[in-house]
Chain A
Amino acid sequence: MIEVKNLSKQFMVPTDKKGLFGKKKEPFWAVDSLDFSASKGSVVSILGPNGCGKTTTLRMIAAMLTPSRGTAFIDTLDVRKHKQKIKSKIGYMTNNTSLYDRLNVIETITFFAELNQIPKDIYKERAQKLFDQLDMNDYLLKRISDLSTGMKQKTSIVRTLIHDPDLIILDEPTTGVDVTGQSVIVDLIKSIKESGKTLIFSTHQLNEVRDIADHIIVMKAGKKVFDGDNQQFQNLDNDKSFTEIFMEMVDD
């Protein structure tokens, strides 16, 4: 269960005005008063144009950034107060593969499993299942630097899931991935959904949202402009496509 209440984040951003030590900075609300809730086992998709605050929202839910105002609760745990506990419940995948180039696949997965203090026999069995599912067995001893983007993405998925998190957060998981890679990720999201885990992902790919998401949140300039399910989204205008509705919603 995720409960987001008045979640807001302010950054100081440079302006065009020059100050004594470079450009002057002024406050900017990257996320402004965001509210939503998601039940256990649901798939939530956060949509919006670049710079609308999707990544900042996900980082706050993952207890990586502290909200400037408001908060979020993950299974009743406040992200402001229980950062470490929340992080152990979450599997967070960044919007690039972000893996250690000089480690091989096995070493990478072992590192993240041991960091999450998972017993060896458990993480080995779990990893093997994921390797089989993602067809990775021929690449396990290859260094990350020698892998294709798709294989890096798969490794990143395994490392996100290795500690069997309750909540999975994927920040633009299909960005920069070819069609095959995208299909792997979509399949994986579906299998996560089937397993009953909660998943939040941000994306630009509206067809993914239409196919997978139970719950859609559209953001524009840090604020929520839509919160509802697939049907509610389509019902906004039945004569228009999903993309057209979205474009109208975020268009200036």
Chain B
Amino acid sequence: MIKWQTLLIKEIRHLFRDTKTIIQTVVVPTFLTPLLITGIVWYISSIAIEESKKDYEVALYDIGNNELVKKFEEAERLNITIYDSIDKIVDSVKNESSEIGIVIEDGFQQNLTNNTSSEITIYSKNIDTFSQAKSLAEDVIDNFENDERASRLSSLNLDEEFINPINILEEDLTTEKEAAGSIFGGILAFFFVMYVITGSMYPAIDLGAGEKERGTMETLVSTNISSLEIIVGKMLSVTASAVLTATFSLLGFIIPVLIIFFFYADSIPESLFDTLSSLVNPIAFLGIFGLIIPLSILMGALLLAVSVYSKNTKEAGLLLGNLVIVFFLPAYIPLFNPGLELDFIGSIIPCYNLALLTNSLIAENTNWMLYLSALGSTVVYCCIAIYITYIMFDDEKIIFRS
């Protein structure tokens, strides 16, 4: 057996005998993250369901006792309280005794009679994103306005088409696969990047700064293994941990989807079923893994370089914590901008390219030239990172830095 293989086997054995590695590589991505996501989705859904049944307190200012007030009072789920000043309405919303406040302009009824327009002001706290009070109130106002508009047109013997010369019809041609790519691609890629980083971070610290701290690095460099062989053995160990973590994270997504397919297929909406079906795409996942492996090598080499430079595990944790932000940020961007499309520049930005290519691989509309550009650039970065790591391992000032 050649030396780097001997070292690789030893490193993997040493790493995976540590409970922390098993938790980080297997337990968290396979069980904890799906449970966490399910818990968050369940919590948000339960809040949304609760809000859909809730009655809302509405503070209303009106001095004209007009028709619109009657409509509000007749509306379901809105408990109307009439106030005699705008200040009281504002205070009521501010101190949250009312969900929203509605101020109907003085002379509202007179303006209706005169066929002129009036203002209605809605006070709310928009930070409560789940509240349906505002939309319920707007529905009441919209219905009232539609009736009033129809009445005015009718009094002039005009048809509604008179004020609507153009009707815009929308047809959404998004396929289920594209929807799945847009909805889940960014999330999946973000999780992959996160797991490649977390899966390589602890092993990198352990095999670099950890070995320096324990003194085993000195023992290792006293043997006749070369710096390059040390790097290859250690880097592949870190990479193996990162790829394993990413694989288990993938299983963490696939297993719940398969459970839904086999046991709950009848009880989920057809559109959701179709979207989930689009996710189970072997070619997409092969394509994603084709990108994850060089990304893992890149991470492994870079994190190892920083780790071995560090005097101890504490310094390594601090330095690597800052370094990983550089990789996290590009993966964040597509998550919050679902419409982004990959171009050549984007295709050479690590993590950003993975996120957008994950979208397109699931949507089955991948530009394979950009895929190759992403793959090629990551391989180039890998070579640079390995070279940097080689310099670090070959420098006695760094190996014995303490």
Contacts and interface: CB of A to CB of B under 8 A. Distances in A.
Interface of A: 59, 62, 64-66, 84-85, 87-88, 90, 92, 94, 96-103, 107, 111-112, 114-117, 159
14 contacts: A85-B224, A87-B223, A92-B222, A96-B215, A98-B218, A100-B10, A103-B14, A107-B10, A114-B1, A115-B7, A115-B224, A116-B223, A117-B3, A159-B219
A94 B218 contact: yes
Interface string B309-332: 000000000000000000000000
B13 A94 contact: no
A98 B224 CA distance: 17
A65 B396 contact: yes
Contacts of B216: 98-100
Contacts of A66: 396
Smallest CB-CB A-B distances: 6 pairs: A98-B215, A92-B222, A87-B224, A88-B224, A102-B17, A114-B6
A154 B396 CA distance: 28
B225 interface: yes
Nearest to B3: A115
Given A64-B396, A114-B1, A115-B7, A102 B223 contact: no
A94 B6 contact: no
B48 interface: no
Contacts of B219: 92, 94, 98-99, 159
Contacts of B223: 87, 112, 115-116
Interface residues of B, number: 22
B285 to A, nearest CB: 33
A100 B226 CA distance: 19
B218 A64 contact: yes
Chain A CB count within 10 A is highest, among B7, B215, B224, for: B224
Contact of B6 (A64, A87, A92, A111): A111
A59 B218 CA distance: 10
Interface in B189-210: none
B141 to A, nearest CB: 65
A64 B215 contact: no
B222 A87 contact: yes
Interface of B: 1, 3, 6-7, 10, 13-14, 17-18, 214-216, 218-219, 221-226, 396, 400
A98 B400 contact: no
B18 A102 contact: yes
User: Interface of chain B, helix or strand or loop or mixed?
Assistant: helix
A94 B3 CA distance: 21
B400 A65 contact: yes
Chain B CB count within 10 A is highest, among A84, A97, A101, A115, for: A115
B36 to A, nearest CB: 29
Contact of B224 (A59, A96, A100, A116): A116
Contact of A98 (B6, B10, B214, B396): B214
Contacts of B226: 84
Contacts of A117: 3
A94 B214 CA distance: 11
A90 B218 CA distance: 14
B82 to A, nearest CB: 70
Contacts of A111: 6, 10
A103 B224 contact: no
B226 to A, nearest CB: 6
B8 to A, nearest CB: 11
Nearest to B218: A94
Contacts of B14: 100, 102-103
A103 B215 contact: no
Contacts of B214: 98, 101
A109 to B, nearest CB: 12
Contacts of A84: 224, 226
A32 B6 CA distance: 38
B221 A64 contact: yes
A88 B221 CA distance: 11
A107 B215 CA distance: 18
B83 to A, nearest CB: 65
Contacts of B13: 102-103, 107
Contacts of A64: 218, 221-222, 396
Contact of A90 (B7, B10, B215, B222): B222
B352 to A, nearest CB: 32
Contacts of A102: 13-14, 17-18
A20 B279 CA distance: 54
Contacts of A85: 224
A84 B225 CA distance: 7
Contacts of B18: 102
B6 A115 contact: yes
B222 A62 contact: yes
A17 to B, nearest CB: 21
A85 B226 CA distance: 11
Contacts of A94: 215, 218-219, 222
